[in-house]
Chains A and B, each alone.
Chain A
Amino acid sequence: MTFRRTWATMRKEIKHIVRDPRSLVLALAQPFLMLLLFGYALSLDVDRIPTLIYDADGTSRSRDLTQRFLASRFFEIRGHVNSYDAIEREIDRGSVLIGLVVPQDYSRRVDAGTDAQVQILLDGSDANTATIALSYVSSLIQNYSLELRSEGRGSGTRPAPPIDARLRVWYNSTMESKNQVVPGLIAVIMMIIAVLLTSLTIAREWETGAMEQLLSTPLRPAEMVLGKMMAYLLVGVMDVAIAMAVGIFVFDVPFRGNLLLLAGASLIFLFGALCWGIFLSAATRSQVMAYQLGIVTSFMPSMVLSGFVWAIDNMPEVIQWITRIVPARYMVTILKVIFLKGVGLEALWVEFLCLLAFATLVFLGAAYKLRQKLG
């Protein structure tokens, strides 16, 4: 292997990239557009839950309760109605998620110190959102009932104070999902773009007939893969920088970690992803096929199995095993941890090793595929 031949290949490949400005602009605009699109579309926050109130009691006590909902940023009161039917209708139409029903005897029971009940009607068709909404409702009601209890028993024997659990969320203290989503998204986008960038290169050489010529020269497969990979690595690094800038400046995701560590991880990850594109290109020898396979093998697994939206721990065991061969999984972890926790290599070396193993394996695979001659 000589540096001379690798270098010549890289220079030639850079010229191809530069001489095709439309593709280059597209390659650089892609992370920006994808991040904006997915960043806004994939918000997992549940707030301003549309709520309808049926207050059959209609006393100052019941109004006190409904006032709590009105004051909370998690709920948005869409109106007051006078029947179950009206709530049912609105839930069916999907215009509200929650119906709060305060029964007629509510204030009487509260005043009497017996158990008072309110009813929550909840649209459970989106289980995820419903669970979160329900937890907001129950915590609000619980707090309120504790207040009532202590107020009602102002004198006399005070009950043991209920445990006041004050949770403090670390790392993502405002629990904004974008802080989780955006770093993961950067990894996913890097994977997709890198694979698509190189998926055409070798197939193009085959389709134009240049490959036959190249194979007759002393240029070795590993040199060709490396040369092409390095040229596209430059584009990939620019893409990472753009995606990072959008994450930090547009989405306000805090960056607490070490930039150098992140750069190192990105380089290893890009190396592997670019080689995967080259591998597909060498294996199919067709630009169309390689591109399509590139989308299928990068987009789907990175999106679904990397744990960037759906937690891997909640997946069936078999699927959890499969996620181990999805390189984006490790990069998602690395990016999230570097962005949000700011810890160093001591906590991430396993992921680094996995990325390194992936990159090496795919590089060797691509070189091997190229070595296979015509017959």
Chain B
Amino acid sequence: MVETPSNGTAVEVTALVKRFGEFVAVNGISFQVRRGEIFGFLGPNGAGKSTTIRILCGLLRPTSGTALVSGIDVARNPEAVRKQLGYVSQRFSLYADLTVGENLDFFGGIYGVPRRLRAERKEQALRTMGLVDQAGTMTALLPGGWKQRLALACAILHQPPVLFLDEPTSGVDPIARREFWDLIHRLSAGGQTIFISSHHMDEVERCHRLALMHAGRIIALGAPNRLKRELYTQGLLLIESSDTLESMRAIENVPGVREAAVYGAGLHVTVDETAATAQRIGEALRGRGIEVRRIESILPSMEDLFVSLIEAQERRSA
């Protein structure tokens, strides 16, 4: 159902730069997205995620560099590229005064879905997104999370090989968010490439690969677990004890401890020389009469990784 170039690359970006006057929103990024992949774009607001997506959708002209979607140069041929992609913008709210079905009818029309296929595609989109019972509902009355699903349904009517979703889950509750990600995986399994941006550190772990973006640059790129293993240069210890706050004070001055933060019922402690420092922490705590229930090395969360990478970056540029 999907047409992509035979080499299996859905999106190819090379040395892409976008300037707005003096401000450099995208600063020379390069990456490739494979066909059928869920590719995450992670970064704080203003990192350049939306700008990149809008360039890829042909809404902005790059200052320099190239961007290919399905092998088509978006700057040279934005009209052709629009048939290859579906886009859900950050601000998109659909038409509140149309029903779910009418919104789909409209988008089916402007995406140029042939008349004979339109009813079938609409049914399919409703079914995929679990909106069958809502087809006649006025969009204004849909609960928050469902609007995102409708937006997604509208963007897949023409079965585009590549889907761009710009922060589709902002302002959506966690359960709806999880369901939304299930849908994305289903689409990906069907062969569609999904390019999704987010600033929720937890949800992007569900991407196949992701790019961490900061201040217009990609500072890390790869599969989530690989990134954590390879790029998190310090160790991370989880410590559970009889007195969490007292423990935090006790380990502050232990050599090798960089930072400690309360995390649920325990502590996350960033350390150098993981094994030796763990030993020293255990001794320090027991020396103060605190019962140590657990000290173990854990894989950092995406947030831990992201913060450490940005700090490293800033240390380097300082």
Contact = CB atoms under 8 A, between A and B. Distances in A.
A250 B20 CA distance: 59
B87 A213 contact: yes
B125 to A, nearest CB: 15
B57 A218 contact: no
Given A20-B97, A218-B82, A2 B112 contact: yes
B115 interface: yes
Interface in A184-228: 208-210, 212-220, 223
Contacts of A8: 105-106, 108-110
A219 B57 CA distance: 13
Interface string A341-360: 00000000000000000000
A287 to B, nearest CB: 15
Interface-central residue, B92, B94, B110, by most chain A CB under 10 Å = B110
Interface stretch (A10-18, A56-64, A275-283, A328-336): A10-18
B106 A210 contact: no
Nearest to B96: A208
Contacts of B87: 213, 216-217
Given A12-B102, A15-B98, A210-B94, A216 B112 contact: no
Contacts of A7: 109
Given A19-B97, A210-B93, A218 B61 contact: no
Interface residues of A, number: 28
A228 B109 CA distance: 14
Contacts of B109: 4-5, 7-9, 11-12
B162 to A, nearest CB: 12
Given A4-B115, A215-B59, A209 B93 contact: yes
Q: Tell me the dominant secondary structure on chain A's binding face.
A: helix
B137 to A, nearest CB: 14
A43 to B, nearest CB: 43
B105 A218 contact: no
Given A4-B115, A209-B93, A212-B91, A218 B102 contact: no
A11 B105 CA distance: 10
B71 to A, nearest CB: 18
Given A216-B82, A218-B83, A5 B110 contact: yes
Contacts, number: 86
Interface string A218-253: 111001000000000000000000000000000000
Nearest to B56: A216
B110 A219 contact: yes
Contacts of B60: 373-375
Contacts of A213: 87-89, 92
Contacts of B58: 216
B106 A12 contact: yes
B92 to A, nearest CB: 5
Interface string A134-167: 0000000000000000000000000000000000
A208 B108 CA distance: 20
B59 A218 contact: no
Contact of B61 (A4, A11, A210, A373): A373
Contacts of A220: 79
A327 B58 CA distance: 37
Interface in B103-149: 105-112, 115
A216 B111 CA distance: 10
Given A8-B105, A373-B60, A375-B20, A217 B111 contact: yes
A218 B111 CA distance: 6
A9 B94 CA distance: 14
B263 interface: no
Contacts of B115: 4
A4 B108 CA distance: 10
Nearest to A218: B82
B54 interface: yes
10 contacts: A2-B112, A209-B91, A213-B87, A213-B92, A216-B85, A218-B79, A218-B111, A220-B79, A374-B59, A375-B60
Interface of A: 2, 4-5, 7-9, 11-12, 15-16, 19-20, 208-210, 212-220, 223, 373-375
Given A208-B91, A209-B93, A373-B59, 4 more contacts: A19-B97, A210-B94, A214-B110, A373-B61
Give me the 5 closest cross-chain CB pairs, A-B, nearest first. Answer: A8-B109, A209-B91, A216-B87, A219-B110, A12-B106
